[in-house]
Amino acid sequence: MELFILLSLFVSLCAGGPKPSSDYIPIIPGDNSHYVEGVSRYVWIPDGDDVPHLVDLHAATENFDSKSGAQNEYWLYTRRNPQNHQRLRHNDANSVRNSNYNPNLPTAFIAHGWNSDGNSKVNTNVRDALLHIGEYNVIALDWRRGANGLYSSSVRAIPDTGEHLAFFISWLISSFGGNLNNVHLIGYSLGAHVVGNAGRTLGRRVARISGLDPAGPQFGRNPQALNSQDATYVECIHTDGGTMGIFDPICQTNFYPNGGINPQPGCWINTCSHSRSYQLYAATVRYDRFIGRQCANLDEARRNRCGGSQMRMGNANLNKRGFGLYGLSTGGEWPY
């Protein structure tokens, strides 16, 4: 009889039966098929090397110092030093004078996600893509002080991290030249909300923000989330919407490759689909060949049944403009 009950429960779950309770602990690393935003307590979240870690979203953060932005580090890469960074220090003029920073070049800032640092895969993938196509100042934001530890603590650190990034950008340009019209902020997961806060602090005057599957857990109705007004042009690429990422169209232009949800081609777990956002973005920088079709609504985007006007996803064009929802299909292996 007990065996029959267990088998019946298993069949019920497989057939789309009741979701597990809020305290359900998922077993398969990276699989968030149980997850319900605002309800689930546990979720798998990848680190900077795409390794999934089980996170307790209810963990206490009372003793956490949310003012960690002053510990941000800024790592400069150019074609003269494409692999070995030069550390730029806020209010340290010599650190910039002795670097390869060129105010006449476009400047891209890359912000990693949770449990990561300046060497995370999003930083190296996007950095290499940008330096492949042209001369850039590529500055990796290393915000490990705020990003490591409890996920909930990292969420609380985002406003201060973004503000200090904005302070650094303002100081760099006012002291050594450059222009906000030539600045591109690129953020993955929690990093998307970091650059959103930076853009807001700078008066929404940065040329462009690219949000790569902006983190979803604890960002429902969160005023600190990336939004469509944080830069002159704000674009999102959604690849694990509704679980690790936000599915709602929070940017001016929102791309939903392969429906914008898990599983992305070549993936079978959510953490893989979440990471696919920066991999796809790097591919668009190098090859700029992904063309989306406009969707009438979110349901069309989810089903990847969009047939409207065309728009290129991603790339590094600082003069890009657009609005709406776009769907497209990709492959499952680089360059997708």
pLDDT band, very low/low/confident/very high, at 20 (cuts 50, 70, 90): low
CA-wise closest residue to 274 among 222, 212, 331, 223: 212
The answer as to whether 40 is a domain residue is: no
pLDDT band, very low/low/confident/very high, at 62 (cuts 50, 70, 90): low
Kindly report the pTM of this predicted structure: 0.93
Q: What is the overall mean pLDDT for the chain?
A: 93
Looking at residues 308-314, what average pLDDT do you find? Answer: 98
Question: Which residue pairs from 95-103 have beta carbons closer than 8 angstroms and sit at least 24 positions apart in sequence?
Answer: 96/172, 96/175, 96/176, 97/176, 100/76, 100/137, 101/76, 101/137, 101/172, 101/176, 102/78, 102/135, 102/137, 103/173, 103/176, 103/177, 103/178
More confident residue, 62 or 89: 89
The answer as to whether 57 is a domain residue is: no
The answer as to whether 247 is a domain residue is: yes
Query: The CATH number of the domain where 222 resides is what?
Result: 3.40.50.1820
If one counts the domains in the chain, the total is 1
For 140-183, write each residue's pLDDT tens digit: 999 999 999 999 999 999 999 999 999 999 999 999 999 999 99
The answer as to whether 33 is a domain residue is: no
CA-wise closest residue to 279 among 132, 141, 124, 147: 124
The answer as to whether 78 is a domain residue is: yes
pLDDT band, very low/low/confident/very high, at 19 (cuts 50, 70, 90): low
Lowest-confidence segment of 4-8, 86-90, 148-152, 320-324 by average pLDDT: 4-8
Domain span holding position 206: 66-328
For 191-243, write each residue's pLDDT tens digit: 999 999 999 999 999 999 999 999 999 998 999 999 999 999 999 999 999 99
Tokens of 118: 């300046």
pLDDT at 112 over 80: yes
pLDDT band, very low/low/confident/very high, at 63 (cuts 50, 70, 90): low
For 238-284, write each residue's pLDDT tens digit: 999 999 999 999 999 999 999 999 999 999 999 999 999 999 999 99
Report the pLDDT value the prediction gives residue 67, as an integer from 0 to 100. Answer: 85
Looking at residues 285-310, what average pLDDT do you find? Answer: 98
pLDDT band, very low/low/confident/very high, at 5 (cuts 50, 70, 90): very low
DSSP state of 288: -
The answer as to whether 192 is a domain residue is: yes
Lowest-confidence segment of 11-25, 39-53, 54-68, 254-268 by average pLDDT: 11-25
Active site residues: 189, 213, 274
DSSP state of 99: S
Tokens of 265: 């081609």
**What distance in Å separates the CA atoms of residue 205 and residue 139, rounded to the nearest whole number?**
18
The answer as to whether 21 is a domain residue is: no
The answer as to whether 71 is a domain residue is: yes
